[in-house]
Each structure stands twice: as structure tokens, then as C-alpha cells.
């Protein structure tokens, strides 16, 4: 099986911002201390949409319920093969929550990033910055 991954672009349309996370600052991981999409690797027997649900339950705690975050309302945005040869499935999901409503369980912090901040050259892990530019362009 070829490598597959998925990422979620959580977005707040009113704020015109996407929710990312800051990766751990460890030399042993790729892109330490950089902003990244929430997501992960597709496991055998999963389809990417199932992976997205599982990964969000593993990475976020919904403080409103005290339970793992239950991803709902996500839609496939695009599929592409990245520079590492990994087939990426990128989903979008509109949200109206604030970072005080969820707790990040993997990584340093959650960060809202606006289109203007992205355009200023904020470095994004795994070349997801290009994907975020496409996403913002799709909003019109």
C-alpha cells in the first residue's frame, strides 16, 4: 500500500481564518516548531475520511463535552501527491468554536491563521502553505 495521509482545514468564515497547530519543538521530528494541519497517516483498512475522524478524536479534546472531538461536516477539498510521494487527502470543515473550546493533545498549541498572516510568509510544515493558499482562493 502506498503512503496516504489526511489533513483537516478547520475554518471560520467570519474571521476568514484556519485553525492549525504548532508542532513539537523536537529535532527528532520533521518541521519542528512549525505550524501544520491537524491530521495524520491513513492506517490499513481505513479510508481517508475515517482517518480524519479518528485523528481528530486522538488529537483534540472537546472541552464542551469532556470527550474526544467528534469531527462532523467535513468535505473533501482535494487529493494530491506531495513531494515525499504521499497521497494527501485534504478535507475542509467549517467551525464556529474558539480554541478555548478544544484542547490540543499532540503538539504545542492551536493557532488561528488568517489569509493575511499566511501571505506574510508564515512557514507551514509539509508545504501545506500552498494548499492553504488554494483554500483561501476558493473562498472568493
Is the per-residue pLDDT at 97 higher than 90? no
Residue 131 above 60 pLDDT?
A: yes
In this structure, what CATH number is given to the domain that contains residue 101? 3.90.79.10
pLDDT band at 140 (very low <50, low <70, confident <90, very high): confident
Residue 124 has pLDDT above 80, yes or no: yes
Q: How does pLDDT run across 15-38, given as a tens digit for each residue?
A: 999 999 999 999 999 999 999 999
DSSP for 119-139, written as a single string? HTT--BGGGHHHHHHHHHHHT
How distant, in Å, are the alpha carbons of 41, 103, 137 from that of 45?
12, 28, 34
Mean pLDDT of the chain: 95
pLDDT tens sequence across 46-95:
999 999 999 999 999 999 999 999 999 999 999 999 999 999 999 999 99
Range of the domain at 13: 4-138
Q: How far apart are CA 80 and CA 24, in angstroms?
A: 26
Residue 96, pLDDT score: 86
Task: Check: CB of residue 50 under 8 Å from CB of residue 29.
Answer: no
State the total domains in the chain.
Answer: 1
pTM: 0.93
DSSP for 57-86, written as a single string = HHHEEETTTTEE----S-EEEEEEE-TTS-
- Give the closest residue to 8 by CA, choosing from 94, 80, 68: 94
Amino acid at each position: 500500500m502506498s503512503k496516504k495521509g489526511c489533513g483537516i482545514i478547520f475554518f471560520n468564515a467570519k474571521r476568514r481564518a484556519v485553525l492549525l497547530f504548532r508542532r513539537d519543538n523536537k529535532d527528532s521530528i520533521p518541521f519542528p516548531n512549525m505550524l501544520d494541519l491537524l491530521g495524520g497517516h491513513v492506517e490499513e483498512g481505513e479510508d481517508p475520511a475515517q482517518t480524519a475522524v479518528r485523528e481528530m478524536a486522538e488529537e483534540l479534546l472537546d472541552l464542551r463535552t469532556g470527550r474526544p472531538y467528534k469531527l462532523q461536516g467535513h468535505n473533501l477539498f482535494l487529493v494530491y501527491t506531495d513531494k515525499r510521494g504521499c497521497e494527501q487527502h485534504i478535507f475542509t470543515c467549517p467551525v464556529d468554536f474558539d480554541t478555548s473550546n478544544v484542547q490540543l493533545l499532540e503538539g504545542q498549541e492551536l493557532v488561528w491563521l488568517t489569509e493575511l498572516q499566511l501571505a506574510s510568509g508564515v512557514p507551514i510544515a509539509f508545504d501545506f502553505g500552498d494548499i492553504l493558499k488554494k483554500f483561501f482562493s476558493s473562498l472568493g
